[in-house]
Amino acid sequence: MEAKAATQVRQFTVAEDDDGIRLDRWFKRHLPEVPFGTVSKWARTGQVRVDGARAKPEDRLAKGQVLRVPPGGDAPHRKTKPKRELSEEEISEARDMVILENKAAIVLNKPPGLATQGGTKTTRHVDGLLDAFVEGEDDPRPRLVHRLDKDTSGVLLVAKTAGSAAFFSKRFAGRSARKVYWALVVGVPDVKEGTIDAPLAKQPGTGGEKMHVDMENGQRAVTRYRVVDKAGQKTAWLELEPLTGRTHQLRVHCEAIGHPIVGDGKYGGQDAFLTGSISRKMHLHARRLIIDAPAGSGIDGKIDATAELPEHFAGSMEQLGFDLALSDAEPLKGDGPPEKTKAEKKQAARQHAKQARKAKPSRRGRGEAKKAAPKKPMAGKTGPTRKPGGKKR
């Protein structure tokens, strides 16, 4: 979308990707340089119209409707972020990660060691490579909708449009997306298939860098697992399916039952490393993702993506004699994701309220809108479950 100030009336046709979106959200998505206060003023004075009729900021748009936008209204401090220029090497790196692509999403196979997003000391990350998928000036920039830890490899879904990002985010938040990981762990669990139900919280004294099991104050975290195969008693190959999405959930849960993930020194310490020639890198891989596809994506039903193992993980599997054909990474049978607790529902409600507050005009915007509004005359008064430290059930 053109970020420069417009000098003429503009007309836009509501795309399928924006079907059902609020008018104010449409502006935030497509004309972010126009502040909310201006949108409200245009709506109040009838300058912005939908199919020729006046519209309010909270009105919902429908596919095919024609939106009339008056000239001007740009806020200089809210210009859209320019596209980052990538080197040929970075573009090639981004393209080499692609597993599949459709109108709604790009599915990547993230290599270990590459962060999903940037941070204080992190300048190389997946998010920084997404400009490789922006071809035209008006093309939207792909958006991350979930994350993988830096040292975790595998399937990472990126939304191609704002509409598909909202669609996928709801599936991840609602826990209808099914993710299956492969992991090598130290030792062999006694129970070959079961559920780990152990609440997690930030570990005190780590600056939020580590999580731990906290039976009193932690957020509920549930993981299904299945032992696919074992190499003697020193290591096992597991399928892991997180039914909740807590930070470092799989890593903490495996350590909590006494079987840390191979190479995960952060949670398993020195016990997480095997002797011999097995790689010291972490052996946790997002093998498969199954998620609903939005309408218009070119896919009927679901997106089903599988990611090949990185070199170090594949080498370890071969050395240990594991046959990849033993697992198709099918989501484990059983009840669906657990119901959200009251605390989780309250947290979701608070988040919704926070987003609603963000959509409201600032105090300055309200003041400007109040000044511009016409004055009114005064009126008179009138499966088996395992809990760390507990018994198997």
> Same domain, yes or no, for 46 and 116?
no
Q: Rounded distance, CA 245 to CA 225, Å?
A: 15
The confidence score (pLDDT) of residue 2 equals: 42
Structure confidence by residue, pLDDT tens digits, 14-62: 988 788 889 998 988 888 888 899 999 999 999 999 999 999 999 999 9
CB-CB contact of 289 with 107 (8 Å): yes
Supply the residues annotated as catalytic.
149
The confidence score (pLDDT) of residue 16 equals: 81
Q: Rounded distance, CA 191 to CA 181, Å?
A: 18
R_g of the chain, CA atoms, integer Å: 25
- For 134-148, 207-221, 336-350, which range has the lowest pLDDT when averaged over its residues? 336-350
Q: Is 283 exposed, middle or buried (0-12, 13-18, 19+ CB in 10 A)?
A: buried
pLDDT higher at 350 or 130: 130
Q: Which of 10, 303, 24, 15 is nearest to 139 (CA)?
A: 15
The confidence score (pLDDT) of residue 206 equals: 80
Q: Is residue 298 assigned to a domain? A: yes
> Same domain, yes or no, for 31 and 172?
no
Q: Is 351 exposed, middle or buried (0-12, 13-18, 19+ CB in 10 A)?
A: exposed
Domain-ending residue, one of 294, 317, 337: 337
Chain centroid to Cα 305, Å, comes to 16
Structural domain count of the chain? 2
CATH code, domain carrying 52: 3.10.290.10
Q: Is residue 61 assigned to a domain? A: yes
Q: Which of 251, 239, 235 is nearest to 383 (CA)?
A: 239
Q: How confident is the model at residue 392 (pLDDT cuts 50, 70, 90)?
A: low
Give the residue numbers spanning the domain of 18: 10-77
Q: Rounded distance, CA 105 to CA 101, Å?
A: 6
> Same domain, yes or no, for 73 and 127?
no
> Same domain, yes or no, for 214 and 295?
yes
Q: Rounded distance, CA 306 to CA 228, Å?
A: 17
Q: Rounded distance, CA 163 to CA 8, Å?
A: 27
Q: Which of 329, 313, 325 is nearest to 185 (CA)?
A: 313
Q: Is residue 357 assigned to a domain? A: no
pLDDT higher than 90, residue 354:
no
> Same domain, yes or no, for 192 and 277?
yes
DSSP state of 303: E
Structure confidence by residue, pLDDT tens digits, 114-172: 999 987 788 899 999 999 999 877 788 999 999 999 999 999 999 998 889 989 999 99
> pTM for this structure?
0.75
CATH code, domain carrying 245: 3.30.2350.10
Q: How large is the average pLDDT for residues 267-282?
A: 95
